[in-house]
Amino acid sequence: MSKSYPSALVTGRKVLFRLDGEVHEISQSELREVLGLPSGPSGLGITVYDDRFEFEFARDNQTAQITAKQLKRRLVKRRETALSRT
């Protein structure tokens, strides 16, 4: 089986991630929360280095780095928590 590399796409205020072949969609404000960053304005730049993401919210000078594995784990946990509340 061929390896699926992580990727990201910013579409307006939403961010789409492909991690291990699975697609995850969250808002930029939700991404800030997942990354442990304070809330702030939208406007996001993403750089992908092999299995690492670097996020830059330039309008308020906030940055964060995370591996694809860590990001997937946090997104899955967030989704499971949201499902358990319904």
Spell out the domain ranges in the chain.
7-85
| pLDDT for residue 65 | 97
Which residue did the predictor score with more confidence, 82 or 26? Answer: 26
| pLDDT level of residue 2 (50, 70, 90 thresholds) | low
How confident is the model over 7-50, as pLDDT tens digits?
998 988 899 999 999 999 999 999 999 999 999 998 999 999 98
pTM of the shown model = 0.88
φ/ψ (deg, to 5) at 6: -65, 150
Cβ burial, residue 11 (10 Å; 0-12/13-18/19+): exposed
Q: DSSP assignment of 47-59, as one string?
A: EEETTEEEEEEGG
C-beta of residue 40 within 8 angstroms of C-beta of residue 60? yes
